Structure formats: structure tokens, C-alpha cells
């Protein structure tokens, strides 16, 4: 269960989040939609703990523990996962090395037994198969030379391996064609579980055709200005964000 209360955050002294409240129950999928500059990506970075984003007020609790004081890697170990809008290319670090290092770091922090090379390979192969990722991709450097679709599938693969309690998907649909979108969405849907919550951040309703949300929120000017069921996404698709940006202004 995620509880974000009165979250204020700024970058270089500019306040971007202005008192955001959001509660996501176990196993629920919530979507956040909103116009450019509303603070959608800021929210995802603040939750993941990126440098340069300063939290000035409020809290974000994951199963009752405030994660905002934690280092980024501690948040990951606590069960937070951010699927990046723009996954970073890391030349020279092979996918298998990366996955093994990440998984074992998280397992160690969670007091679980670390996996040996064979155990990891087995797990990786089965997850890759589920997501339609070729073994060849695992031999390459992290995200280097990956197509847009491959990068996003890779994010889902990492999510599948790290088994988070709470996953934030930051504009996962950006840069994807319909086929790639469906594969990625299927991957996410396969990970839906009773003890796992999702926050899907998106501009467009399109992604929500594939990943059905329980609730939809509109984020404008750093606050949640409207919440509703899946129908709200359809309504936004028709009307646009004009009324919210006007309100905010």
C-alpha cells in the first residue's frame, strides 16, 4: 500500500509538486494523466530519489515506511521500482552482469539468499521467454543499440526480476508502436498481483486500453485535481486538459 501525503518538491528552487495526495491499495493499478509540465515525471523521480529533486514537505510511505529519506538503492530494496521514460544506455556493462548485480544487491538487502550464476541464468531465461526477449539481447550492453520497444521490454524484464511491491511506469508508452505497446502491456499485466501496486503515468489514454487501471487521476500544476474510474481517461481523451490548466492558472 502506497500513501503519498501533501508532497511538495522543487527543482532549483522552483516548486513543481504542490501538495500531492495519493493512496494506492495493494494490487491496485492507478493511472496519472496530465498535461506537459504538470509534474508527472517529477513525481516519478522524487519517488525514486533522484539527485536534484528536493522534497520540502510531505511523506511517501510504502507499507507504512517513509521512503523519502532513503537512498535510491534502498528504495529499490524496499520494493519500489521505476520504469524509466528514457532508459539509460550504459556502454560496457553487459545485461547479464547488470541483472545479476542488481538482483543480488536487492536480495542481499532483503535478507534473501543471493543467486549463483546458474540460478540467475535460469531465472533470466524464463523471464525473457515470457516477455519475448531474445537471449542475444542479454549479451549486449545495457540498453545500448536497443530499439525503443526493446528498451521498454527491458524495463519490464527488470521489473519481473526484481519483484517490486510498487512499480511506477513513467510514460512507458512513449516511443512505442502498437505492437510493441501490446507486448509491454502484456508483460506488465502478467506481473499484476495481489501484493503489487502500479502507478501508470501517461499522456494518452491509449496505454490504458491495454493496462486497465482501477483509478485514474488528473495531475495539473503539481496537484491531483480530479480522480475517477477508468471512464475519466476516456473523457480526458475527448476533452483534453484545457479545463484543468485553466483552473490551475
Partner 1 sequence: MSAVTKFKPRYRADTAEIGLIDWDKLPPMSAEWVNALRTRAQLSVIETGMPTAKLERWKYTNLNAKLKKMSLRYHEAELDLSGMTDYAYSFSKGMLHCPEWVREMLEAEAPSNNKYGDMMLWQAANAYLKDGFIVDVPADKKTTSALEVTQTGRDGHYIVPRQIIRVGENAEMTIIEYQSGSRSYWANIVSQIKIEKNATLRHYRFQENSDESVITHNTHIEMEEGANYEAFTITTGAGLSRNQIHADLKGENIICRLNGVNMLDGSEIADTTITVEHQEPNCESYQDYRSVATDKAVGTFQGKIHVHQIAQKTDGYQMAKSLLLSSQATMNTKPELEIYADDVKCSHGATAGRLDEDALFYLRARGIPEKQARNLLIQAFVNEVIEGVTDKNVREQANLIVSKWLDQSDANSSAEWLE
> Minimum distance from CB of 196 to partner 1 (Å)?
16
Among 55, 121, 141, 248, binds partner 1 (CB under 8 A): 141
> Minimum distance from CB of 144 to partner 1 (Å)?
10
Q: Kindly tell me which of 131 and 232 has the beta carbon lying closer to partner 1.
A: 131
> Minimum distance from CB of 12 to partner 1 (Å)?
15
User: What is the spatial distance between Cα 48 and Cα 121, in angstroms, rounded to a whole number?
Assistant: 27
> Minimum distance from CB of 32 to partner 1 (Å)?
19
| 134 is a site residue for partner 1 (CB under 8 A) | no
Q: Kindly tell me which of 57 and 89 has the beta carbon lying closer to partner 1.
A: 89
| 172 is a site residue for partner 1 (CB under 8 A) | no
Among 6, 57, 65, 101, binds partner 1 (CB under 8 A): 101
| 162 is a site residue for partner 1 (CB under 8 A) | yes
Stretch that binds partner 1, among 8-16, 18-26, 103-111, 115-123 (CB under 8 A): 103-111
Q: ∠ at Cα 148 (146, 150), nearest 5°?
A: 55
Q: How many residues bind partner 1 (CB under 8 A)?
A: 30
User: What is the spatial distance between Cα 78 and Cα 94, in angstroms, rounded to a whole number?
Assistant: 25
| 175 is a site residue for partner 1 (CB under 8 A) | no
> Minimum distance from CB of 90 to partner 1 (Å)?
5
| 199 is a site residue for partner 1 (CB under 8 A) | no
Q: Kindly tell me which of 152 and 215 has the beta carbon lying closer to partner 1.
A: 152
Q: ∠ at Cα 59 (57, 60), nearest 5°?
A: 140
> Minimum distance from CB of 97 to partner 1 (Å)?
8
The full 3-state SS of the chain, as one line of letters, equals CEEEEEEEEEECCEEEEEEEEEEECCCCEEEEECCCCCCHHHHHHHHHCCCCEEEEEEEEEECCEECCCCCHHHHHHHCEEEECCCCCCEEEEEHHHHHHHHHHHHHHHCCCCCCCHHHHHHHHHHHHHHHCCCHHHHCCEECCCCCHHHHHHHHHHHHHHHCCCEEEEECCCCCCCHHHHHHHHHHHHHHCECCEEEEEEECCCHHHHHCCCCEEEEEECCEEEEEECCHHHHHHHHHCCHHHHHHHC
Among 9, 17, 31, 106, binds partner 1 (CB under 8 A): 106
Among 8, 50, 165, 203, binds partner 1 (CB under 8 A): 50
**Interacting residues with partner 1 (CB under 8 A):** 48-51, 71-73, 75-77, 82, 84, 87-93, 97-98, 101-103, 105-106, 109, 141, 158, 162
Amino acid at each position: 500500500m502506497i500513501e503519498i501525503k501533501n508532497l511538495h518538491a522543487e527543482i532549483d528552487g522552483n516548486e513543481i509538486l504542490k501538495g500531492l495526495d495519493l493512496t494506492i491499495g495493494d494490487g491496485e493499478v492507478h493511472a496519472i494523466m496530465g498535461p506537459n509540465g504538470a509534474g508527472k515525471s517529477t513525481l516519478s523521480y522524487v519517488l525514486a530519489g533522484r539527485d536534484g529533486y528536493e522534497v520540502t514537505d510531505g511523506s511517501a510511505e510504502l507499507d507504512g515506511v517513509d521512503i523519502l529519506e532513503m537512498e535510491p538503492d534502498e528504495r529499490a530494496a524496499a520494493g519500489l521500482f521505476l520504469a524509466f521514460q528514457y532508459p539509460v544506455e550504459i556502454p560496457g556493462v553487459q545485461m547479464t552482469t547488470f541483472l545479476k548485480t542488481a538482483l543480488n544487491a536487492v536480495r542481499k538487502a532483503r535478507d534473501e539468499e543471493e543467486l549463483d550464476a546458474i540460478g540467475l541464468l535460469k531465472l533470466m531465461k524464463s523471464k525473457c521467454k515470457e516477455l519475448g526477449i531474445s537471449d542475444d539481447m542479454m549479451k549486449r550492453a545495457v540498453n545500448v543499440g536497443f530499439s525503443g520497444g526493446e528498451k521498454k521490454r527491458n524495463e519490464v524484464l527488470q521489473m519481473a526480476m526484481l519483484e517490486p511491491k510498487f512499480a511506477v511506469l513513467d510514460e512507458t508508452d512513449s516511443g512505442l508502436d502498437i505492437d510493441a505497446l501490446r507486448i509491454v502491456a502484456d508483460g506488465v499485466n502478467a506481473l499484476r498481483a495481489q501484493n503489487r501496486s502500479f502507478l501508470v503515468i501517461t499522456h494518452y489514454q491509449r496505454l490504458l486500453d491495454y493496462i486497465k487501471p482501477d483509478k485514474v487521476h488528473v495531475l495539473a500544476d503539481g496537484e491531483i485535481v480530479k480522480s475517477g474510474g477508468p471512464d475519466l481517461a476516456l473523457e480526458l481523451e475527448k476533452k483534453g486538459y484545457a479545463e484543468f490548466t485553466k483552473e490551475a492558472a
